[in-house]
Amino acid sequence: MADASLNPYLRAQQSFKEAVEVLGVEMAVYDLLKQPLRFFEVAVPVVRDDGSLAVFRGYRSQHNDALGPTKGGLRFHPDVDADEVKALSMWMTVKCALLNLPYGGGKGGVACDVDVLSDRELERLSREYIRAISLVIGPDKDIPAPDVSTNSQIMAWMVDEYSRIRGENTFGLITGKPLIIGGSAGRVKATGRGLVFATRQLAHALGIEFAGSRVAVQGFGNVGSVAAEICFQLGARVVAVSDKDGGLYAEEGIDVQKLLAFKREHLSLKGYPEAEFITNQQLLELPVDILFPAALENQITADNAHRIQARIVGEGANGPTTPEADGILFDKGVMVVPDVLGNAGGVTVSYFEWVQNQTRTYWSEDEVNQRLETYMAKAMIAMHEMHERFGVTLRKAAYLVAVARITEAMRVRGWLT
């Protein structure tokens, strides 16, 4: 695909090129960052329950390891392809460098439909994939984690298979594992919690009092519901939330604890008696201080960006704001916490998990949360300073911070002349 707006790999390349040009570093930096250092495509044979053999296509991309071993998720999805995996590994490089984690970016996946696989077939697929890439991953080389349609159980099968190959328990290979085999406390809520921490730091920089601020949350899944809950606990007024069935609005604020209990019972927000029904589109355009799009991509576009009234947009989802909308919001003075930071709480606590595995010392959830807040706040400060220095969006500032740090690492390691 030649259209950079449609191909994530080309979009990622363009973002790196722009950062290199703004920073004024040599183009050799872009030449090193425009593609993965290593990319693997593997055949993954799986014996189906009926005895037939299915062969799936798997990938692993290791974009840049100047700052440390590569790190990134594994997704099982029919649409997984080479360009998507490469782009995702490049974005992970930015995310890790921005958070000042000692990692480069990695990503992997298998093109498959988990809905047609039995639990036994899914386990075989997980084990065969890890066997196929076992020579190119490791706790000090490349550390996978859960992503789309993968979970802690799949990570457990994978780390067990790798440990069998190595002949020793190697829990530090993978993060996002069950607690009983080295998972980290606080990992489940890390993405939503990190989103709130980063946004609160930006609000402070802009002179917005977080406690008492009006908040709307689009998407009441793992990220959005956690963000709403933590905002409520911190004294913000959550006036609107939504899920796939539509939204709820209450001018005086919603009791998020009551709403969570309602959703656990009814599996939907629909019918909640203490708020009025609104559409997802109406939620996006409410007059609030903070808007969290934490559902799907491409929710704020050139068509509706002019009507966004929030002062801060904190991206919990991947790509909820289109590039055109990003420019419109910037011109309006709306500050966007880009997804590369907004949903980086997951990889940050994954880093904590890896550290705990390597040191055999485990932290309480309170300690994990305190460390997460420190990392998210420092990343926001660095990004905001770059934004002020160059007068660019926070999204572009994130790339500037990341590329500057990666360039320094590559220079001192002798990769650049």
Which pLDDT tens digit goes with each residue over 92-111? 999 999 999 999 999 999 99
- Band (1; pLDDT cuts 50, 70, 90): very low
Strand-by-strand arrangement of the 276-278 sheet:
276-278, 246-249, 237-243, 214-218, 290-293, 312-314, 335-337
Scan for tokens 């859960």, then name that residue.
146
| pLDDT value of position 6 | 63
Tokens of 406: 């990666």
Q: Which structural domains are found in the chain, ordered by start?
A: 37-171 (3.40.50.10860), 190-342 (3.40.50.720)
What count of other Cβ atoms lies within 10 Å of the Cβ of residue 72?
32
Task: With cut-offs at 50, 70 and 90, classify the pLDDT of residue 148.
Answer: confident
Q: Report the phi/psi class of residue 138: left, alpha or beta, with left for phi > 0 and alpha for psi in -120 to 50.
A: left
Judged by DSSP in three states, 301 sits in coil
Residues in contact with 82: Cβ distance below 8 Å, sequence separation at least 6, in sequence order: 39, 41, 59
The torsion of the CA quartet 209, 284, 384, 371, rounded to 10 degrees, works out to 70
Q: What is the model's pLDDT at position 267?
A: 87
C-alpha closest to that of 230 among 369, 98, 371: 369
Average pLDDT over residues 273-293: 95
Dist. CA 98–CA 376, nearest whole Å:
9
Active site annotation includes 107: yes
Do β-strands 246-249 and 38-47 pair in parallel, antiparallel, or remain unpaired? Answer: unpaired
- Cα–Cα distances in Å, from 302 out to 5, 298, 322, 353? 14, 10, 8, 40
Q: Per-residue pLDDT for 5 more than 60?
A: no
Burial zone of 315 (CB within 10 Å; 0-12 exposed, 13-18 middle, 19+ buried): buried
**Strand, coil or helix: 51:** coil
Q: Identify the band that residue 227 occupies on the pLDDT scale cut at 50, 70 and 90.
A: very high
Are the CB atoms for 357 and 183 separated by under 8 Å? no
Return the pLDDT at 297: 84
DSSP run (H or E) holding 91 = helix 82-98
| Active-site hit among 71, 86, 95, 107 | 107
Identify the H or E element spanning 164.
helix 152-166
Mean pLDDT of the chain: 95
H helix runs in 234-271, sequence order: 256-266
The pLDDT score that the predictor gives to residue 244 is: 84
